[in-house]
Amino acid sequence: MPHWLEEAEREEQRKKEKPSRESAKVQDKIFRIRQNYEANKDTYENFITYFFDLCERANNLPHEKKLPWVRIDFKRKDSKLENRLYYASTAESIDKVIKSRSIPFFKRQHFKHLRSIHFNVSKKMDYAEVEVRDDYLAKTRLKSKDEDKTDIYDDGFKRVKVVFEYEMKKLNKELSMTVLDWLVFKKDISSLPFGEEDFKYDRRKKHNQL
């Protein structure tokens, strides 16, 4: 049986080696992403440019042509993985009668319906990662201490936060138009072409498992 001193020393050594192993994994991932980007740079950048132009064209429409949304936010996000991460997002306001745990047990609640899509270069050669998010946030106003605060029991909304690995060669103008239609609430999520064969993981389930 190992002496407690030797066991403690080994444990401390493992702690010191862990950051080094994790750093090596990150560097390997960055290297593979860089290789993938160099091999598919034109395809990826042309798609991002075309999609950005589509979003800007939509943003330039008169206000009455854009309702229920107001603006598509399109941004590049810095990443330590250098994976050329871009995302576009929109929002609409909706009302819905929901169940609550306090009186009244049914009430009309205001929600902000959020949609966003993220694109980045994958470590898997010839693939991009696509993250689709469809979420609802309850809008609440500030209440005094004497007012009851409604506790939402079930709003009935299906929330989505999934990641796909999608072939670079499928990043084209048709995909841009399809994503735009979904972002501006013209189509539902079933209109997106990402299927089971492209599925990587569900961020909501992954988060719950941590």
Q: pLDDT band at 144, cuts 50/70/90?
A: very low
- Looking at residues 143-151, what average pLDDT do you find? 50
* CA distances, 195 to each of 172, 189, 190, 203 (Å): 17, 11, 9, 16
Q: Is 130:164 a contact under the CB 8 Å cutoff? A: yes
The mean pLDDT value of the chain amounts to 87
Domain assignment of residue 92, given as a range: 4-209
When divided into structural domains, the chain yields a total of 1
Say what the pTM is. 0.79
Q: pLDDT band at 5, cuts 50/70/90?
A: confident
What CA–CA distance (Å, rounded) separates 135 from 161? 8
How does pLDDT run across 165-202, given as a tens digit for each residue?
Answer: 999 999 999 999 999 999 999 999 999 999 999 999 89
- Looking at residues 112-140, what average pLDDT do you find? 95
Closest by CA position to 121, among listed 87, 84, 88, 86? 84
The answer to whether residue 149 scores a pLDDT higher than 60 is: no
Output 94 or 50, whichever has higher pLDDT: 50
Going through the chain in order, the beta strands assigned E by DSSP cover 73-77, 85-100, 106-121, 127-138, 152-154, 160-167, 199-202
Q: pLDDT band at 9, cuts 50/70/90?
A: confident
User: For a pLDDT cut of 70, what percent of the chain falls above it?
Assistant: 84
Which of the 8 DSSP states describes residue 195? Answer: -
The answer to whether residue 24 scores a pLDDT higher than 80 is: yes
